[in-house]
Structure 1
Amino acid sequence: MAEIDHIKKERVEERLRKKVKQQQMEELNAKEEKLFIGNPLLNNTAALFSVKRSFLFFWWDNTVVFESQARGEMKAPYRFINDTIKNDFHSKFLH
């Protein structure tokens, strides 16, 4: 009988430990959630930081002198040949 009482007592203590641990986790989650809500950078309020839409389309490279200079040039696609003598690198190396 003493062993059964001891086992029952251990089970009750284990349940209490689990309950306390779960409460601590819930408190920690609530605290983290409160921190995320309080941080304006993580808070998803677009109304506070509204920017005009026309300004977003003006980027620093819109007035660059060399914009789109290499549009007409097409690179030859790389051909893979499983032969060291016949592949593109070897033919370019020889010529």
Structure 2
Amino acid sequence: MENLNDLYATARDEFEIAAEETEKKTVYAADDREAAQEALQTLKDAFEKAVKEGDPEVGKEIQSRVGQRIRELENAVKAMEEMAMED
């Protein structure tokens, strides 16, 4: 669970940096969005592994605690990508 929290914090930080750079339309925006996507994918992979390989009760707890945050972050990254495409 601690590893998932760390990965979530990293993905969230990468998203915030990418969102700021995208909003400002800097030359770094595309690379920052890619880094945010990669961090999100790493988080999702670790989440799926933790849910599948762990104890079923622990898996349910992980899904309820982390699953919603991952979906929210995933939607935010999608919205940021759509915003970037509009420009």
TM-score, normalised on structure 1?
Answer: 0.29
Q: Higher relative contact order by CA 8 Å / sep ≥ 6: 1 or 2?
A: 2
Per the normalisation by structure 2, the TM-score is 0.31
> Computing the radius of gyration over CA atoms, which structure comes out larger, 1 or 2?
1
